[in-house]
Chains A and B, each alone.
Chain A
Amino acid sequence: NAGVMQNPRHLVRRRGQEARLRCSPMKGHSHVYWYRQLPEEGLKFMVYLQKENIIDESGMPKERFSAEFPKEGPSILRIQQVVRGDSAAYFCASSPPGSPHYNEQFFGPGTRLTVL
């Protein structure tokens, strides 16, 4: 059973460009989470999605950031007009159906975004 897949693993963008990060959850998992890890910091929650629904986006910056998890295909985290402060590692995690509070979240390898 393949794990959580993220691509690209490394992404370089110039200021003002758009960044698209993709996440394919584990097979059978219907919950997807995005976290951001800034240098020297722990992971910070950004958004929690189920298929076609955003459940909790309390950690998402109000501007330039959006996320989706369509009925078909991977979850996408989109960052418009990137700035240097967006440089970070972005991790996707998934968990199976059912009460997610105590379910393990399985993490992907992350996408390391560098903004020049």
Chain B
Amino acid sequence: AQSVTQLGSHVSVSEGALVLLRCNYSSSVPPYLFWYVQYPNQGLQLLLKYTSAATLVKGINGFEAEFKKSETSFHLTKPSAHMSDAAEYFCAVSDLAYGNKLVFGAGTILRVKS
């Protein structure tokens, strides 16, 4: 079965510091991987997605993620955190074996300190 594990339910960084949010997945077939961001009381917005093209994926707002098959990981990074990055981030997987639904991790709340 598909599953997504996000290590760390809360991550705190200083403004200007590196952001690293971890995501590991399990999938029996090549996956499609997504990172979404959720601001309080809002819906989810797509940051970036991996669909078997380049393993390093660039998204919006300066975020990027690298697909590492050997590690079954898809960690999200941003070189320099901004106060506006404070939100909850969800990693999700979709694959052909399990239909079209997205399977989400539990989420990581990012706090940015000034």
Q: Which residues of A contact B (CB under 8 A)?
A: 4, 31, 33, 35, 41-45, 48, 55-56, 58-59, 91, 93, 95, 100-102, 104-110, 112
Docked complex Cα distance between A59 and B4 (Å): 16
B interface, how many residues as a size bin? 20 to 34
Q: Are A42 and B107 neighbours in the complex by a CB distance under 8 Å?
A: yes
Q: Which residues of chain B are near A33, meaning CB under 8 Å?
A: 100-102
Q: Are A59 and B43 neighbours in the complex by a CB distance under 8 Å?
A: no
Q: Which residues of chain B are near A44, meaning CB under 8 Å?
A: 104
How far in angstroms is the closest Cβ of chain A from B57? 12
Docked complex Cα distance between A5 and B43 (Å): 10
Q: Which residues of chain A are near B44, meaning CB under 8 Å?
A: 43, 91, 93, 107
B1-20 interface bits toward A, Cβ cutoff 8 Å, 1 = contact, 0 = none: 00010000000000000000
Q: Are B90 and A104 neighbours in the complex by a CB distance under 8 Å?
A: no
Q: Which residue of B lies closest to A108 (CB)?
A: B43
How far in angstroms is the closest Cβ of chain B from A52? 17
How far in angstroms is the closest Cβ of chain A from B43? 4
Q: Which residues of chain B are near A95, meaning CB under 8 Å?
A: 100
